[in-house]
Structure 1
Amino acid sequence: MNLVGMNEGFVLVAKRDCQTCELVQPVVRELAAGARPLAVYSQDDPTFPEGVAGVRDDRALEVSFRLGIETVPTLIRIEAGREVERVVGWQRDEWRALTGVNSLGEGLPAWRPGCGSKSVEPGIVDELEIKYGDVPFQARRVVVGEHEDEFEAMYSRGWSDGLPTVPPTRLRVHRMLKGTSRDPKEVLGLLPPDLQPITVEKVAINAVMAGCAPEYMPVVIGAVEAALSEPFNMHGVLATTMFCGPIVIVNGPIARAIGMNGRGNALGQGNRANATIGRALQLCVRNVGGGRPQGVDRSTLGTPGKYTFCFAEDEAGSYWESLSVERGFARGSNTVTLFAGDGVHGVVDQQSRTPESLARTFALSLRGVNHWKLAQGADAILVVSPEHERTFKAAGWDKARLRQELDSLLELPAEEIVRGAGGIAEGIPAAALGERKTIPKFRKGGLLIVRAGGDAGMFSAVIAGWGASGPVGSTPVTVAIKD
């Protein structure tokens, strides 16, 4: 493609704010006076180089962008309307070979490095790609009125979860999409509850609104893919009157690479990645899937975690195998596990020094999930802190051994959980128990054990979930994170 309207000759791109460009001004004047055409483009001053007629103004950087200029000065030879060769910076022998002028640059140093092109300064590349590049957008463009506040506009259009959202401009969305190698037009699936197609681009739009950084995109996409899976039952998670919302648990090197928190205050505020990845998923469900409170979202009370609930498992230094390994992935895999859960219930045990005692504490806390008299109607996450994990490590208990102990302790006596027992109407119908003397609190695979939290403090946590009992409920889903 002929970008400069020249069939044969030379193109030079330079800027005044460059010592090497200043140095080669005599060379440029000599070339301009020669027999072959020379087109000079200046990135910052149309009067530079001095003494050269017809310098072209490239302060908009369109020519620099289209020619792929990374360093100035850059001298390009054009033949038949196309570039055939270029020299970057000042290299006297190469300029002579390119131009065929053997006396060029007498009296100048043999070599000087160039300066960075203005077209590759931080942030400007993305702007130029939007302005001059072929960057297709599938989503419709919403124009906000000149005197309309853009943040209030997003509230009024129903795009917000109640907190301020970042305006998803074309530039911000373009930058967000650079965080993944996946095609922006790729349809990930039909997102409940409205079963609307959600593309990678739409994920990026909501990730911008949530405040994500581009490097979070693979994790956000993974969370969306997990929400799309039938076992997770995103429609049911919304439509149930229970408290639950999607909880995102991240495993693998990517968690550390993007700065996620799995240590002190892992379930709380203060970490951008944790906060915005979970929020991006929720905004996708709201803005693409149509899942809004008092619409399809029928939760009686809800939970603050429905704004965002996302954390990393602290795998560094852990004695136990990670959640992702337990769920069938290779060690070191990057994964997202999605769990339909509600609030955090603290487990305080600062006295137990044996694994048996601490396991009983965990079992008593887990017994209360949803109701002491209900069994197999909920899942749960047990978040074990490093101090509590050390108690098990000292006794040689791996995660499987702890799980075995909890399974035994959480076999609930039938006489305690039948309806009406103890004067409590809630419970399981006697007919449903049959001849069984006990029934497990959780279904098989319904209890996840994750290590997270700060080094100090003998505090763990239980997060209740909306488990599957029959065709109703949600099953935790783990998916691999793709770039």
Structure 2
Amino acid sequence: MTVDISERQQDGVFIFAKRECETCQMVEPVFGQIADNLPTVIYTQDDPTFPSCVAAIDDTSLESSFSFDIEAVPTLVRMKDGKEIARTYGWNRHDWETITGLKALGEGLPDMRPGCGSKSREPGVHDALRARYGKLDYKSRQIRLGEWDDDIEACFDRGFSDGLPVVPPTDVRILRMLEGTTRKPDEIIGDVPPNLSPITVEKVAINAVMAGCRPEYMPVVLTALEAALDPLFTMHGLLCTTCFSGPIVVVNGPIAREIGMNSGINCLGQGNRANATIGRALQLIIRNVGGGRPGELDRAVLGGPGKYTFCFAEDESDPTWMPLSVARGIGRDKNAVTLFQGDGIQGFLDQRSRTAKELTKSLAMSLLAVGHPKLCEFTNAMLVLVPEHYAIFREAGWDRGRITEELHRAMVRPGKDVIQGAHGVGEGIDRKRVDEMVNKFWPEGLLIVQAGGQAGLFSAICAGWTGGRFRNESKPVTREITI
């Protein structure tokens, strides 16, 4: 006769099993032997009628399996005075006899047989159980929806979206996202403009979920946010500007490959989840936590597609090329994020230049158009150099430093050609500089990144934000990624 014990604090034996486990089926007679001699509770994970020899508690909800942290079945747990004193899993006659104090268990059965994985440990299930039965210590305000509410529409209605559907941030999804970082959920990253609202790792995770990120993207998202909150990045000004600009996120290091970022074909376009969602997560944080909503404090006259997301990885496959992060002080093979205040893409097409000097002059002509051909030391710029264009420089023995130096030299012009009113155009630099030789960009104002497909002589120029004219107050920011 089985003596049930329904509360964990009582003494006795707990057994966790499932019908689909062959070992559980094999030792079913042992369950009866134990139940005939000791207070016994059997929890069945998949079939309330199993085992047939002993009445079992239906644990198809897996609540008890989760509570006891069952990893495999069958599992035998011995309780005494409200405490667990012994546990074993799988079938091992010696262990089962030692724990129960009973002899001659399972005569005729093999001495040992491994068990099966607990249903509570199946992929995705454990996180769902943590969310349902665990003790969640979320600090963010939770919104409870009605039974018939549409989650995605509810996010739209509450203004959480950038205009595209977002992934509803359920408890399960937030838990999984937080597992992508070792940082504590309540750690404060900083104050997000324009409202200067404090943001925790937990709130970063929520927005990363909504953006569609995977948990392994979290270190990149967190570092991109830290870079954006650096006062030198002037995120507040970038947000409130009437210009086109937004954060452009460039990722360097092994992590870009590990999380599957695109640095090749179509890397500035659609189709890659990491590229698309990391940049989007940053934009959603600015919107949802900082309050940067279009038409309110976001005052862009036209804006641009980059305000949804603009994120890509640099191609570091060519050993002759110095990655952007290294050029900006981060060690080789280190993971890093660079944030650049930039606009959309200005295409550069040159399929005929075959020497480094020809290509330099050609690139300089397009770079001079950034912002306006007569504006100098007014904005920064990012040049995304495709492999075929870089190959022309590489064959000439030019490295990053030489390319940058020659481009700057090719863009120096007489002040008389770019002052206000020159050539019948009102825009331009101060007339007092008429006798100077004027640089297009500050010496540090041209960032070069190598990326793109192997076929096609089509590079890209991203104009910088006009706030770059304040040379020492607004700059691109590079941060090493921490897990």
Q: Please confirm whether the aligned pair reaches a TM-score higher than 0.5, indicating the same fold.
A: yes
Question: 1:449 maps to what in 2?
Answer: 448
Question: What residue identity is the alignment partner of 1:258?
Answer: I
Cα pair distance change 1:185/1:49, threshold 3 Å: same
Question: 2:213 maps to what in 1?
Answer: 212
Question: 2:46 maps to what in 1?
Answer: 44
1:328-372 Cα shifts (integer Å, max 9, x gaps):
001011111111111111111111221111111111111110011
Conserved in 2, the CA contact under 8 Å of 1:251 and 1:336? yes
Q: For the residues of structure 2 that align with 1:133 and 1:372, how far apart are their CA atoms?
A: 61
1:377-408 Cα shifts (integer Å, max 9, x gaps):
10100111011111111111110011111121
Question: 2:14 maps to what in 1?
Answer: 11
Are positions 1:270 and 2:271 aligned together? Answer: yes
Question: 2:204 maps to what in 1?
Answer: 203
Q: Give SS of 2:231's match.
A: coil
How far did 1:3 drift? 9.4
Cα pair distance change 1:126/1:33, threshold 3 Å: same
Cα pair distance change 1:318/1:458, threshold 3 Å: farther
Are positions 1:334 and 2:335 aligned together? Answer: yes
1:156-193 Cα shifts (integer Å, max 9, x gaps):
22221111111112222222111111111111111000
Are positions 1:239 and 2:228 aligned together? Answer: no
Q: Give SS of 1:231's match.
A: helix
Question: What residue identity is the alignment partner of 2:448?
Answer: I
Question: What residue identity is the alignment partner of 2:413?
Answer: L
Aligned counterparts, 1:217-366, within 5 A = 217-366=218-367
How far did 1:444 drift? 2.6
Question: What residue identity is the alignment partner of 1:292?
Answer: R
1:15-53 Cα shifts (integer Å, max 9, x gaps):
11211101001111111111x322211112333222214
Question: 2:145 maps to what in 1?
Answer: 144
Q: For the residues of structure 2 that align with 1:472 and 1:193, how far apart are their CA atoms?
A: 21
Question: What residue identity is the alignment partner of 1:336?
Answer: V
Conserved in 1, the CA contact under 8 Å of 2:419 and 2:434? no
Q: For the residues of structure 2 that align with 1:172 and 1:214, how far apart are their CA atoms?
A: 9
1:206-249 Cα shifts (integer Å, max 9, x gaps):
11111111111111111111111100001100111111011111
Question: 1:477 maps to what in 2?
Answer: 477
Question: 1:171 maps to what in 2?
Answer: 172
How far did 1:87 drift? 1.4
Cα pair distance change 1:378/1:387, threshold 3 Å: same
Conserved in 2, the CA contact under 8 Å of 1:3 and 1:66? no
Taking only the aligned residue pairs, the percentage that are identical comes to 55
Q: For the residues of structure 2 that align with 1:48 and 1:135, how far apart are their CA atoms?
A: 33
Question: 2:99 maps to what in 1?
Answer: 98
Conserved in 2, the CA contact under 8 Å of 1:264 and 1:453? yes
Q: For the residues of structure 1 that align with 2:35 and 2:307, how far apart are their CA atoms?
A: 66
CA-atom RMSD in angstroms: 1.7
1:419-438 Cα shifts (integer Å, max 9, x gaps):
1111111101122x275x21
Q: For the residues of structure 1 that align with 2:146 and 2:119, how far apart are their CA atoms?
A: 32
Q: Give SS of 2:469's match.
A: coil
Q: Give SS of 1:125's match.
A: helix
Unaligned runs of 5+ in 1: none
Q: For the residues of structure 1 that align with 2:12 and 2:147, how far apart are their CA atoms?
A: 47
Q: For the residues of structure 1 that align with 2:134 and 2:353, how far apart are their CA atoms?
A: 64
Question: 1:384 maps to what in 2?
Answer: 385
Q: For the residues of structure 1 that align with 2:252 and 2:297, how far apart are their CA atoms?
A: 31
Q: For the residues of structure 1 that align with 2:166 and 2:315, how far apart are their CA atoms?
A: 29
Conserved in 2, the CA contact under 8 Å of 1:246 and 1:338? yes
Q: Give SS of 1:475's match.
A: coil
Conserved in 1, the CA contact under 8 Å of 2:6 and 2:41? no
TM-score by length of 2: 0.96
Question: What residue identity is the alignment partner of 1:217?
Answer: M
Q: Which moved more, 1:471-480 or 1:135-144?
A: 471-480
Q: Which moved more, 1:89-98 or 1:376-385?
A: 89-98
Q: For the residues of structure 2 that align with 1:347 and 1:471, how far apart are their CA atoms?
A: 26
Q: Which moved more, 1:321-330 or 1:3-12?
A: 3-12
How far did 1:472 drift? 8.7
Cα pair distance change 1:190/1:6, threshold 3 Å: closer
Question: 1:465 maps to what in 2?
Answer: 464
How far did 1:97 drift? 2.4
Question: 1:71 maps to what in 2?
Answer: 72
Conserved in 1, the CA contact under 8 Å of 2:15 and 2:74? yes
The partner residue of 1:23 within 13, 21, 26 is 26
Q: For the residues of structure 2 that align with 1:149 and 1:74, how far apart are their CA atoms?
A: 40
Q: For the residues of structure 2 that align with 1:319 and 1:387, how far apart are their CA atoms?
A: 14
How far did 1:314 drift? 0.7
Question: What residue identity is the alignment partner of 1:357?
Answer: E
1:87-120 Cα shifts (integer Å, max 9, x gaps):
1101122222222323112100122110111111
1:38-79 Cα shifts (integer Å, max 9, x gaps):
2211112333222214x2222221221121111100112223
Conserved in 1, the CA contact under 8 Å of 2:370 and 2:463? yes
Conserved in 2, the CA contact under 8 Å of 1:236 and 1:474? no
Conserved in 1, the CA contact under 8 Å of 2:414 and 2:434? no
Q: Which moved more, 1:59-68 or 1:189-198?
A: 59-68
How far did 1:278 drift? 0.7
Question: 2:135 maps to what in 1?
Answer: 134
How far did 1:473 drift? 6.6
